[in-house]
Amino acid sequence: MNQSSQTPPAHDAKALLAQAEAASTASVRATEPPFGFLLSLTLIWAGIFSLYGVINSALWYWSLLLFLPVLVWYIFWSRKRAKSRPALKHSGKYMLGVFVMLAGMQFGNFWIPQTWLLVALKFVALFAVLTTAFWVMRRETITSRIKDGNEQAS
């Protein structure tokens, strides 16, 4: 049987498809904020909100300025990258991540620690909840954008 010169063998087509998928995934991941940014944002967020109700209110409000260096980092980082196309719709897992983040923050507002040990426990709990939520949301955004890009190409 004579194969056309334009139709690559099956193993070449699989390799080319895998290369295109890897390039697409790398491109989408490069436009999303790095996980280090999300981790530092989570550390600051959990630190500030674990001290809510423990330190003086005026000092607590001033502590929100700790977000400024992370914001400046993000602005400078985002200037160097390609503009990401927003996901057209978010998955149920993404919305579950949003819900977990909101529920964790609301629970944190109800929990006013009385000792520094409880402050540390609240910090660990908030850090775990926020890290998990951000990780799920980032992963689902990447997956949604790759799926959307594959559907657009068809």
Q: Are 30 and 82 in contact (CB under 8 A)?
A: yes
Alpha-carbon distances of 52 from 29, 43, 144, rounded to whole Å: 34, 15, 35
Between 56 and 153, name the one with better pLDDT. 56
Q: Looking at per-residue confidence, does 144 or 116 come out higher?
A: 116
User: Whole-angstrom Cα distance, residue 146 to residue 16?
Assistant: 17
Quote helix, strand, coil % in the chain, to nearest 5: 75, 0, 25
What's the distance, Cα to Cα, between the start and end of the chain in Å?
30
- Is the Cβ–Cβ distance between 143 and 91 less than 8 Å? yes
Q: For residue range 126-146, what is the model confidence (pLDDT) as tens digits?
A: 999 999 999 998 888 888 877
Q: What is the mean pLDDT of residues 27-45?
A: 82
